[in-house]
Amino acid sequence: MRARIVGLTVAAAVLAIVLFGAPLAAGVVAYLIGDERAELERAADVAAITVAADLAAGRTTATLAGIGFGDDEPGTLGVYDLAGSRVVGDGPLTADASVRDATGEDPVAGDAGGDLVVAVPVVVQDQHRLVVRAATARSEVWVRVGLVWLAMSGLAAVATGAVWLLARRFAARLARPLEEVATGARRLGDGDFSVRSPHSGVPEIDAVGVALDSTAERLGALLERERAFSADASHQLRTPLAGLRLELEAALEDPEHDLRGAIVAGIAAADRLQHTVDDLLALARDAPRAASGLDIDRVLAEARQQWDSRATGRQLLIRRESEAPVAAASPAAVRQVMTVLLDNAAKHGRGIVTVTARETGGVLAVDVADEGPEIVRPDAELFQRRSPRASGHGIGLALARSLAEAEGGRLRLTRPAPPTFTLLLPAWEPVVAPAGDDPPARPAGEHGDVHMASNPLTLAGPRKRGT
């Protein structure tokens, strides 16, 4: 690219020089010939005045030496009579065409045998007596023309060289950003989404760089979302898969096991897996929120079913205060947050796990507490997301917090001992119907099937311990 830019620039400069220099060179020839003829006419006029003065005084001009031309000026002077014979000076013995044509009062210019000739008539007392002929070799003019053309060629060469240097500089300035953009594009193709194009100062090239940077950011964000989705999906599906595997292994190992019950339990576990996958896909695709409020009773009932399927042998208490407001949140997001919190309590907590839905400050608060040891890790580290390749650690709480914040809520560790996590969700404000219309339907959660403020449910009896 650089060579093409330099070549085109130099070619354009040479073309411009030729188009400008050719007429100028022709003009130089015409100018120098005209200047030489003017010099010959001046010398002939001087000689004519001298000859006229001699004739008026009755003298005969003996020589023209030192008249008209200087010592270093090439040229010849001759005086001819009306018969065409040379009287004095240098020149042909007989008059040439220019001398013969000088019959009036004006000078006559012409060429003769490779010489430039100017003939000036000598008039004394209104009588045409003689003709003065001034001549110089045309080669003398061409020597001057050659020197001028040589100077012009030198200037053209200097100009071409300057254009070449400038073209190299500007070609480097134009090509370097494009080469860097090309390098960035190759790195982007190799999977390096951190590539950024430097600022070049050329608007068009910078526009390409900005577009490439934007593409890299979008691809990087897309890949990061895909990696996060893979990690989140594996994290959220691990526990249901483990439960399904335990149910099937127990049915295989116990000959007296109710196979139909195992199949039914397996189908239920598969349904929960499908539900989890659907939730994750909906969250990954930013599915629009439901027009109605969150059915917290249904979410709590699903949390009960999920805990029962774990078979941890630990009790789960679920409480819902009657004053708990309806929340404006996606059921899929809240289900996944509850899954993470219950999974965290099952793996790292102890004793009874308590889930409480209550009102605080006009928002819905869902507390998940257990009787495990005190959490000593700082809040920032507790919710920090680790590598997507982490083996099930450092993903759940970070995922839960990001889902809560995406719904306009918060997830915090409100009490380190006993460990209590609180999910805060904004209250849902139903659309007020105009006068005369039917009032908006109440969310299903207002009269759901889980009202546990005064009669908490308790998981009775020991169950097989899960993972």
Q: What is the pLDDT of residues 352-374, one digit of tens each?
A: 999 999 998 889 999 999 998 88
Residue 201 has what DSSP assignment?
S
- Token pair 């590539």: residue: 195
User: Is the preceding peptide bond at 418 cis, omega within 30 degrees of 0?
Assistant: yes
> Start-end ranges of CATH 3.30.450 in the chain?
2-149
Give the mean model confidence (pLDDT) for residues 267-288.
65
What pLDDT is stored for residue 424 in this prediction? 92
Cα(17)–Cα(338) distance, integer angstroms: 81
At 356, phi and psi to the nearest 5? -130, 125
CA–chain centroid gap for 419, Å, is: 50
The reported pLDDT for the residue numbered 191 is 78
Report the half-sphere exposure of 447 (CA within 13 A, side-chain side): 2
- Report the distance separating Cα 113 and Cα 416, nearest Å: 120
Confidence of residue 23 (pLDDT cuts 50, 70, 90): very high
- pLDDT for the residue 221: 72
> In whole angstroms, what is the distance from residue 354 CA to residue 341 CA?
11
Burial of 25 (0-12, 13-18, 19+ CB in 10 A): middle
Per-residue pLDDT at 282 exceeds 90: no
Q: What does the pLDDT read at residue 395?
A: 66
Q: Which CATH number fits domain 235-430+440-447: 3.40.50.720, 1.10.10.10, 3.30.565.10, 2.102.10.10?
A: 3.30.565.10
Share of the chain above pLDDT 90, in %: 15
- pLDDT recorded at residue 435: 52
Determine if residue 361 is left, alpha or beta; phi over 0 gives left, psi from -120 to 50 gives alpha, anything else beta. Answer: left
Q: What is the pLDDT of residues 370-417, one digit of tens each?
A: 998 888 888 777 887 664 444 445 567 887 888 888 888 899 999 988
Task: Write down the pLDDT at residue 110.
Answer: 87
Distances (CA, A) of 282 to 226, 268, 328, 463: 13, 21, 17, 33
pLDDT attached to residue 444: 39
440 has a pLDDT exceeding 80:
no
What's the pTM value of the predicted model, to 2 decimals?
A: 0.45
* Residue 456 confidence (pLDDT): 34
Fold entry, domain 2-149: Beta-Lactamase (3.30.450)
SS (H, E, C) 437-453: CCCCCCCHHHHCCCCCC
Could you give the residue range(s) of every CATH 3.30.565.10 domain in the chain? 235-430+440-447
